């Protein structure tokens, strides 16, 4: 190959616009690639915020929690009594109290156990919080929360 031919081919290659994507395979095969476009990407399907995991359900079927004004006894003792009776909203509120340490000692294991019971009963806000707290617990805390949930279940079943 002559030197002038090599220089001419380098000049042609250098004058070509830089590709926007990696086209190594296209250059080797001799085929041109179509430009990338975001319009060609299919739209993601809509996902409901509570559609993660086995506790999820359609939003229409999810029970609606009682508004704040209808809560009769919001003290810790009243919440514990109603939670032990199997009230999902009381379990959720008691779990929030333990999570924040409001009126009780701050205990993530107890909070997770209470919120788990509420989520299993179908409380819509407890379901997403259950997954958020569970992602932050250690394996040891998960084990303790599981045992605590097993302790709390007979209380709520016996009260029914």
Q: Is 159 within 8 Å of 86 (Cβ atoms)?
A: yes
CA distance 8 to 55: 67
Torsion of CA 138, 139, 140, 146, to 10 degrees: 110
Domain ranges of the chain: 68-159
The dihedral through the CA atoms of 137, 143, 148, 154 has a sign that is: positive
Residue pLDDT tens, the chain, 160 long: 566 665 555 555 555 555 555 555 556 666 655 555 555 555 555 554 444 444 444 444 444 545 444 445 678 899 999 999 989 999 999 999 999 999 999 999 999 999 999 999 999 999 999 999 999 999 999 999 999 999 998 776 666 5
């Amino acid at each position: 190959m002559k030197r002038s031919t090599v220089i001419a081919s380098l000049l042609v290659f250098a004058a070509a616009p830089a590709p926007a994507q990696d086209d190594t395979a296209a250059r080797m095969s001799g085929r041109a690639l179509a430009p990338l476009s975001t319009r060609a990407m299919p739209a993601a399907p809509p996902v409901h915020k509570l559609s993660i995991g086995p506790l999820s359900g359609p939003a229409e079927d999810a029970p609606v929690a009682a508004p704040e004004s209808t809560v009769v006894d919001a003290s810790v003792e009243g919440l514990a009594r109603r939670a032990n009776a199997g009230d999902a909203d009381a379990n959720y509120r008691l779990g929030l109290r333990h999570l924040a340490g409001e009126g009780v000692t701050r205990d993530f294991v107890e909070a997770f156990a209470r919120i788990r019971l509420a989520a299993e009963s179908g409380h819509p806000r407890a379901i997403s919080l259950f997954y958020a707290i569970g992602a932050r617990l250690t394996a040891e805390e998960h084990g303790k929360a599981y045992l605590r949930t097993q302790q709390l279940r007979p209380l709520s079943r016996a009260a029914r």
